[in-house]
Structure 1
Amino acid sequence: MDTLANLLSGVQARGAVFTRTVMSPQWSLRFASGAQLTLVTMLNGSVWITPANGEPTAVGPGDIAVLRGPAPYTVGDDPASPPQQVVTSADYCARTARAVTDGELTLGVRTCGVAEAGSALLVSGAYAGPTEISDRLLDALPDVLIVPDGECDRALLTLVAKEVQRDENGQQAVLDRLLDLLLVATLRVWLDRPQSPAPAWHRPADSVVVSAIRLMHDRPAHPWTVATLAAKVGSSRSGLARRFTQHVGEPPMTYLAARRVGLAAELLHETDATVGSVARKVGYSNAFALSVAFKRYHGITPTEHRAAALRTRGASS
């Protein structure tokens, strides 16, 4: 069962922001865009990434780092270097010193820097708006995860580096899809590494648990209970509850609720169906029941989520 594909099925960048940043020695940038996920790679040189509440992590040429937001983080040639620029959602580009004093200095499409030339070249891409990334996936990721050079397809990084510098018809759509592809490719490698602290749901070793998960993914709107799931997979109610919690890290009904809310978020983003209609499609009796569950997981109502998605879509069109 491909749990990663299911968890990422609703992820679709819209208006992804990319930048190439040219840097000289004694440089440091503070990223405070509020993005849920950001991917960073060094084309030349090395870098230290320091999350808001974590230890510095080294990133070398060709390594790919996935940074979990929305907390800010610092990227620099030395963890002790104070930030020279703050990158925000309003300006996802660290301007050069001359650009600040003399106006816009053209370094190329999506190319910025704290100096006009430098030995280090960083490429970063961020999900700028609501992405429907599963809370289960976000909770499983560390603040910073690194996939070393050589473990991801170098051809993909070369393509990203090339497309970031282009400005042709449909360019934003190309960049959006490339960010999605880079995220999936990176997470797939990270999750499958033997030394990776992969979450329990990624490779549940229990066939009964796998069967229960498959049923909930195939028929999320069915009125499942632990008892009905147990009967379907040939287990006792208590046995399924114990084994599921042991291998997945949460009870079956908690897992199902998260699955339903995730599907609802995707439908609210992708369709014009009413909240009540979406609620019934994912297994809730009415809009109120969905709203209660949705706010518990996302902190906002389904209507607020849809409004935020529409604003993001409008801003990127």
Structure 2
Amino acid sequence: MDTLSGLLESPKARGAFLLKSVFSPPWGLRIEDRAPLSLVTMLHGSAWVLREGADPVRIAAGDVAVVRGPEPYTLVDDPSTPPGITVDPEQRCNTIDGEDVTEAMFLGVRTWGEPHRTGSTVLLSGTYQAPNEVGRRLLAGLPALLVQPAAAARTPLIGMLAAEVDKEDIGQEVVLDRLLDLLLINVLRSWLMEPGTGAPLWFRAQSDPVVGRALRLLHERPSQSWTVASLAASVGVSRAVLARRFTKLVGEPPMSYLTGWRLTLASELLRDQDLSVASIAQRVGYSGPFALSAAFKRERGVSPREFRRGKRSEEILTAGSDRRTVVLGT
């Protein structure tokens, strides 16, 4: 698996929170759900995304905004409109006076907002509710706000997601989860491939003839007992050359990168309840469950079993400190 596939293989929503919201101006939502990642796309009308310490960003019909949490953000019809409703971590909606309007504004299957659905603004939001549904390496590399304009999207996924969100067919939750994943992956591919958008160092390093080969080997054979010396021999350079070049281009030494990749794979495998921690350790290159547990606890702040049960670590939830806004195609 190459580094791009490894990154894009991470998003796996499980019972993601999807909602179609209908409003007429003036309207405003303060999102305080602490979700690690959310997607917002406009079906009709436009909205502004407001974040503390950043300029307002407008999203129009067909645009897709990827918002990295857990910091709160605001969606409004106009930057001057104060938010009238706050969304809490349980996805409950309260007015500024504390009134719970979650049920009062319910309009049917996964649809919420003003009565009679006469609003001129219709937005579709999808929320990944746990960090392990997205992947630590992906969260750490993302800007705080990533916007893909409609002109750059060229995908039927928004229409497909909008058509499915109102349905209650057999397996509907799985269909919606996979469509949300595909929409996110579509935006991520544009971000990674477009020059000047600030893609992670390790992604850009793929094009280097030495480091790129080393990265592919680590991704393809994570269970191998790699050392810097053995990796250097495999790509045909000295240990010192590889260590220096890898660290410069990727931003961390080869063995540090390997540890992160092994734990990323372990996080994915921990979703399978039928796999023991011992078998997962063997698959990702650790001598046994204790070695994996020690590394996992040290890097992630929780043990593999705690992670499997869904216990959150602040270190995972707040991965990354990039507060940039990236608008693709500009």
Question: What TM-score does the superposition give when structure 2 sets the normalisation length?
Answer: 0.85
Equivalence map 1:1-317=2 (5 Å)? 2-91=2-91, 104=104, 107-113=107-113, 117-204=118-205, 205-308=207-310
Kept in 2, the 8 Å contact 1:48–1:75? The answer is yes
Query: What CA distance in whole angstroms lies between the structure 2 residues aligned with 1:34 and 1:52?
Result: 15
| 2:258 alignment partner, SS class | helix
After superposition, the C-alpha distances for 1:83-135 in whole angstroms (9 at most, x for unaligned) are 2111234236689x9x9679645523211115653211111001123534332
Higher alpha-carbon deviation: 260-269 or 77-86: 77-86
Higher alpha-carbon deviation: 104-113 or 28-37: 104-113
Kept in 2, the 8 Å contact 1:89–1:128? The answer is no
Query: What CA distance in whole angstroms lies between the structure 2 residues aligned with 1:40 and 1:262?
Result: 26
Kept in 1, the 8 Å contact 2:20–2:111? The answer is yes
| 2:271 alignment partner, SS class | helix
Quick one: which amino acid aligns to residue 15 of structure 1? G
Partner of 1:315 in structure 2?
none
Q: For the structure 1 residues 218 and 246, does the alpha-carbon distance in structure 2 shift closer, same or farther, using more than 3 Å as the test?
A: same
Partner of 1:313 in structure 2?
none
Partner of 2:315 in structure 1?
none
- CA shift, 1:296, in A, is 3.0
Question: What TM-score does the superposition give when structure 1 sets the normalisation length?
Answer: 0.89
Partner of 2:320 in structure 1?
none
After superposition, the C-alpha distances for 1:272-304 in whole angstroms (9 at most, x for unaligned) are 222223222211122222122212332211010
Query: What CA distance in whole angstroms lies between the structure 2 residues aligned with 1:103 and 1:282?
Result: 46
Kept in 1, the 8 Å contact 2:105–2:115? The answer is no
RMSD: 2.4
Structure 2: runs of 5+ lacking an equivalent: 312-330
Q: For the structure 1 residues 160 and 8, does the alpha-carbon distance in structure 2 shift closer, same or farther, using more than 3 Å as the test?
A: same
Quick one: which amino acid aligns to residue 304 of structure 2? P
Quick one: which amino acid aligns to residue 241 of structure 2? G
Kept in 1, the 8 Å contact 2:105–2:114? The answer is no
| 1:131 alignment partner, SS class | helix
Kept in 2, the 8 Å contact 1:36–1:69? The answer is yes
Structure 1: runs of 5+ lacking an equivalent: 310-317
- CA shift, 1:52, in A, is 4.4
Quick one: which amino acid aligns to residue 4 of structure 2? L
| 1:107 alignment partner, SS class | strand
Partner of 1:312 in structure 2?
none
- How many residue pairs get aligned? The number is 307
Query: What CA distance in whole angstroms lies between the structure 2 residues aligned with 1:219 and 1:272?
Result: 23
Kept in 2, the 8 Å contact 1:29–1:86? The answer is yes
Query: What CA distance in whole angstroms lies between the structure 2 residues aligned with 1:187 and 1:220?
Result: 24
Q: For the structure 1 residues 114 and 299, does the alpha-carbon distance in structure 2 shift closer, same or farther, using more than 3 Å as the test?
A: farther
